[in-house]
Structure 1
Amino acid sequence: MSRQFDAIIIGAGHNGLTCACYLARAGLKVLVLEQSHTIGGMTVTEEITLPGFKSDLHAFGYQFANLSPVPKELNLSAHGFELIWPNINYSHVFPDGGFIAMHRSLEETVRSIGRYSKKDGETWRRLAGQFVEQKDQITRWMNSPPASLTAATLQLAQMPHGMDEYRFELQSTRSWVAEQFEADETRLFIATFASHASVSPDDVGGAHLAWLFTSLIQAVGNRVVRGGMHNLPLALAAYLRSKGGQIRTGARVNKIVVKDNRAVGVRLVDGEEIGVKQIVASNADPRQLIVDFLGPEHIDANLISKMQQYEWGDAYMAIYLALDGPLNYLAGADADRSAYVHPTPPTLDYLSSVYTECRGGLLPAAPLVLMCNDSAIDPDRAPVGKNVMKLVVNNVPYDIKGDATGKIHGRTWDAAKEAYADHLIDLITKTYVPNLRDRILRRVVHSPVDMERAIPSAVRGTVTHGAFLPYQSGAQRPLPGLGQYRMPVPNVYLCGSGSHPGGGVSMAPGRNSAQVILAALQGNDIAS
């Protein structure tokens, strides 16, 4: 084999780079291998529409990462990393021109909700306060290896109100918001954020996710990386190189080479083999690691069978827009000053119908479209006087079996995506943003299939390395027995979003896995 390294990391997404940074900081000689032409994975910024219009291809909001110690521990600000905290974190707009906004100020959020229900405003004050009280505990939970199911259950049982917490963790969003809020608009304002993780109003566990997302954003912001989300992995890469780490792009791994039940290197698709002395960690999705990189020659058939049953969640579609100026929302200027905008009718039944259509294989007639106001928050992402926006279409089928719009004839994504994008832009223009279509200079549409072609870990057009389900979370993520970042081959680890605490930009899987790896190298076991 060619050059020897102490550790090889497969995948230069933000979690893979985070893991690599901590291993290099501990003195290991680290190589990161990335199959794409650039680092970043789901945290990439490119001029995909027109020159000068910088679009975050996937992640835009910096939310759970606000609880991460990584930027401070690695001094990422010294490597060009900087955050913007918008005055309006997100807005929910309705067809009648009404809206609710999540302001940076809790008092302003309470007033915004109060336009529909003063009681709901005070309820939100209480719920937001609960997050502040629990923030340190949540931060520790996120940035530590997960407790075993037995330990977590025992902890719940010993809490004064443990069974209430148990119910809340499994409660559907619909059930919970009906208990907490009286106005349909408030219920949508809070509930919709669970849809960012493909959790419907009627799915188990949606309540806790909706509260966690929204209360966290109220407390620490729906921040944006100045200059584009790509500046996060670029800062991590700069730190890694400062510690002697190396990165190779255009280097796709085909197999982890195993001898005597230990990884001794990796083989690239072109046949090159690279040796490793101690550790291989994968930032790819867990199916690639278990089924492809290791495979049946090193993994028990029963475990491979369980991995084949792993649930991925609903697919996504993205529409990238270069705009000839600002948008005029029916809801008013505050919407254009929001990092995110959720445009929907004011009923949970609407949101449920989207999931029914999507999971039945239909192109939804009016899916939830997350409108990301990239340049409204970070003006340098677009030329002066222009704007850049991304529309993230949540909950579309990977395999198209039919069409709820009555307009789309294609049954493959390559045939259907442009017509479906036309339908969605017409819908938003007619219902929420009258000048949207006229402002478009150029658009680029990425279907779920396009996403998977570009990033193999975007399995079936998903972005979280596995659905958020109670049996795919904590120490059960990705599978029971694999929830502590360790694989059956003793020196192979999972460091990506298929491990605790899951998808999104948090840097936690990368940092947590590095803790486990370094403890193992030192002869300690920190798993709970």
Structure 2
Amino acid sequence: MDTPDAIVIGSGPNGLAAANTLANAGWSVLVLEAKSRPGGAVWTEELTLPGFHHDVGAAFFPFGETSPALVPLDLPSRGLVWRHAPLDSAHPAPDGTCPAIGRDLDASVRSLGDDGEAWRKLALWHRDTRDKMLDALLSTLPAAGAMLRFGPMNLLRLAEVAASSGRGWSERHFRTEAARRIVPALALHTDVGPDDPFGAVVGFMLAMLATSGGFAVPEGGAASITKTLIARLEELGGEVRCGARVGKIVVREGRAAAVVTDDGEEIEADRAIIADTSAPALYLRLLEDRWVPSSVTDAMRRFRQGFGTFKMDWALDGPVPWTSEEAARASVVHTGDSLDDLAAFTAEVRRGELPSNPYLVIGQQSLVDRTRAPEGRHTLWAYSRVPSTIEGGWEAAKERFADRIEARIDKLAPGFKARILGRAIFAPTDLEAMDENLIGGDLGGGSAQIRHQLVFRPMFPYFRYRTTVRGLYLGSSYAHPGAGVHGACGKNAACAALEDEG
């Protein structure tokens, strides 16, 4: 490729969404990836035993078939196949209850019992407003046009959620403890606990997406998403180069002009550079100090990451023997005994302690995708939120906490441990080594607390993808709208570049 119009630093889903958006507009695009393979946390490998294919990071995708950034790319026409379980999210507890939600509304209503009709009303409202809601929430701020299309009454209804804690909203809307733990449990995909002010909206959105797009699983693993995005980019003339870690962004006359890789190669960009990197890495490592105001430098040094993540994968000789029928039919299982249990878990993580009763997000991809494991066998994927660092270091605690997680699952699925053929363990330090955007094992590109969202993501006034340097844009999950494999951060950054170039 001759000098490209744009360089994209990083080949995660946001970087590839940005690259495809620019290539669609006729730009020549070069994507530079530091690792030997693309995709960041959206990839699949044999982590336990031969023939067992595990997602290294993201594993199920509520935005896969709904995101305004991904849908126009028409990935299914290029071979991406989405699979769905009968239920999308199950929430078993030791008391025997297991509320479950998903695209099958009648099944969700039956599962929620006394709260079924309340759930039906929420799900039907979401189905009627989903596309306009996602357009409003995932667009570049202030997204006035998209907000108007969503409608003032719908905005007020969503504002009631956003103004609440997960516990407060759930207790107002549901009567049973089983239903009340769904939204706060989903919020713990991030660092938002059930009693955090303004915390309900994170779990609410994931719950609503479970009822419409569902927690979709890509056939062949998460790597299929990355491979399809790359194939589409290459059809448009773009290029992805792996093993090319960018160590510096060159600025000339106040404009981003080139990058320098760690092996000393300088690569020019005619029109723009988009960074699918962490915000601290962009401002504290890639740019020289003279191009970064001290206020930005100070903000990045104080930047608040989300919780760390402890991830496990298993090769199993059969499906997980859940006591609950709903859990056995769900693509994702969330453990949380009650609202108080979720609150106690959150408090332990914030105190820097290993959780005594780990909250878990558990993915059962092989239930719906038989490419993941040999015939008759299964994979299992799970993570817990943890402190990024612990006293004594993670190496000393990994096996002990892994055993605690397995014991947690075994209580809800007696006999689980007897089905384990192999396991792989990843502490926060391991996840950051795999993808340096996952600082301290943070999956979300920084805290999801309200004071780190909207115009404060990653900081005010640099919340619209433009940075302190002309022609340089932040297009990662460290920008609005944040975490999730939706590609919106990258697409919006690319749109800002296209707008600036007329």
Residue-by-residue CA offset, 1:128-162 (whole Å, 9 max, x unaligned): 122123223212214421108xx79x98xx94697
Letter matched to residue 381 of structure 2 = K
Partner of 1:196, secondary structure, is coil
Structure 2 match to 1:462: 442
Q: Which whole-Å CA distance do the structure 2 matches of 1:200 and 1:98 have between them?
A: 21
Asked whether the equivalents of residues 371 and 389 of structure 1 are also in contact (C-alpha less than 8 Å), the reply is yes
Asked whether the equivalents of residues 358 and 408 of structure 2 are also in contact (C-alpha less than 8 Å), the reply is no
Structure 1 match to 2:407: 426
Q: In the alignment, is residue 130 of structure 1 matched against residue 139 of structure 2?
A: no
Structure 2 match to 1:408: none
The structural deviation recorded for 1:495 is 1.0
Structure 2 match to 1:183: 176
Asked whether the equivalents of residues 9 and 283 of structure 1 are also in contact (C-alpha less than 8 Å), the reply is yes
Structure 2 match to 1:86: 85
Structure 1 match to 2:293: 300
Asked whether the equivalents of residues 70 and 486 of structure 2 are also in contact (C-alpha less than 8 Å), the reply is no
Partner of 2:492, secondary structure, is helix
The structural deviation recorded for 1:163 is 6.6
Unaligned ranges ≥5, structure 1:
402-410, 523-528
Q: Which whole-Å CA distance do the structure 1 matches of 2:44 and 2:379 have between them?
A: 12
Residue-by-residue CA offset, 1:310-357 (whole Å, 9 max, x unaligned): 21111111011011112211113x322210111232x21110111111
Q: 2:213 aligns with which of 220, 234, 239?
A: 220
Partner of 2:451, secondary structure, is helix
Would the alpha carbon gap of residues 349 and 143 (structure 1) be closer, same or farther in structure 2, given more than 3 Å must change? closer
The structural deviation recorded for 1:466 is 1.0
Structure 1 match to 2:193: 200
Asked whether the equivalents of residues 143 and 511 of structure 1 are also in contact (C-alpha less than 8 Å), the reply is no
Would the alpha carbon gap of residues 319 and 164 (structure 1) be closer, same or farther in structure 2, given more than 3 Å must change? closer
The structural deviation recorded for 1:170 is 2.5
Structure 2 match to 1:232: 225
TM (norm. structure 1) is 0.91
Q: Note the aligned Cα RMSD (angstroms).
A: 2.0
Partner of 1:362, secondary structure, is coil
Partner of 2:327, secondary structure, is helix
Would the alpha carbon gap of residues 211 and 427 (structure 1) be closer, same or farther in structure 2, given more than 3 Å must change? closer
Asked whether the equivalents of residues 9 and 31 of structure 2 are also in contact (C-alpha less than 8 Å), the reply is yes
Partner of 2:259, secondary structure, is strand
Structure 2 match to 1:145: 140
Q: Give matches, 1:319-334, under 5 Å.
A: 319-332=312-325, 334=326
Q: Which whole-Å CA distance do the structure 1 matches of 2:240 and 2:154 have between them?
A: 48
Q: Which whole-Å CA distance do the structure 2 matches of 1:161 and 1:83 have between them?
A: 30
Letter matched to residue 29 of structure 2 = V
Q: Which whole-Å CA distance do the structure 2 matches of 1:136 and 1:31 have between them?
A: 31
Asked whether the equivalents of residues 199 and 449 of structure 2 are also in contact (C-alpha less than 8 Å), the reply is no
Structure 2 match to 1:353: 344
Q: In the alignment, is residue 417 of structure 1 matched against residue 398 of structure 2?
A: yes
Structure 2 match to 1:396: 386
Residue-by-residue CA offset, 1:219-273 (whole Å, 9 max, x unaligned): 2211111111111111110011111111111111111011111111101112221
The count of aligned residue pairs is 500
Letter matched to residue 340 of structure 1 = V
Of all paired residues, the percent bearing the same amino acid is 33
The structural deviation recorded for 1:165 is 5.0
Asked whether the equivalents of residues 138 and 480 of structure 2 are also in contact (C-alpha less than 8 Å), the reply is no
Letter matched to residue 186 of structure 1 = A
Q: Give matches, 1:264-275, under 5 Å.
A: 264-275=257-268
Residue-by-residue CA offset, 1:5-37 (whole Å, 9 max, x unaligned): 211000000110111011112121111000111
Asked whether the equivalents of residues 64 and 216 of structure 2 are also in contact (C-alpha less than 8 Å), the reply is no
Q: Which whole-Å CA distance do the structure 2 matches of 1:223 and 1:163 have between them?
A: 29
Asked whether the equivalents of residues 311 and 427 of structure 2 are also in contact (C-alpha less than 8 Å), the reply is yes
TM (norm. structure 2) is 0.95
Structure 2 match to 1:64: 63
Partner of 1:277, secondary structure, is coil
Letter matched to residue 30 of structure 1 = V
Q: Which whole-Å CA distance do the structure 2 matches of 1:46 and 1:177 have between them?
A: 38
Structure 1 match to 2:39: 40
Unaligned ranges ≥5, structure 2:
none
Structure 2 match to 1:404: none
Partner of 1:214, secondary structure, is helix
Q: In the alignment, is residue 172 of structure 1 matched against residue 162 of structure 2?
A: no
Q: In the alignment, is residue 18 of structure 1 matched against residue 17 of structure 2?
A: yes
Q: Which whole-Å CA distance do the structure 2 matches of 1:381 and 1:507 have between them?
A: 25
Letter matched to residue 329 of structure 2 = R
Q: In the alignment, is residue 255 of structure 1 matched against residue 248 of structure 2?
A: yes
Q: Which whole-Å CA distance do the structure 1 matches of 2:103 and 2:127 have between them?
A: 14
The structural deviation recorded for 1:432 is 0.8
Q: Which whole-Å CA distance do the structure 1 matches of 2:275 and 2:154 have between them?
A: 39
Q: Which whole-Å CA distance do the structure 2 matches of 1:241 and 1:161 have between them?
A: 40
Asked whether the equivalents of residues 97 and 178 of structure 2 are also in contact (C-alpha less than 8 Å), the reply is no
Letter matched to residue 474 of structure 1 = L
Partner of 1:519, secondary structure, is helix
Letter matched to residue 335 of structure 2 = P
The structural deviation recorded for 1:460 is 1.1
Residue-by-residue CA offset, 1:262-293 (whole Å, 9 max, x unaligned): 11110111222111111100001111111111
Letter matched to residue 405 of structure 2 = L
Q: Give matches, 1:148-167, under 5 Å.
A: 159=152, 166-167=159-160
Structure 1 match to 2:327: 335
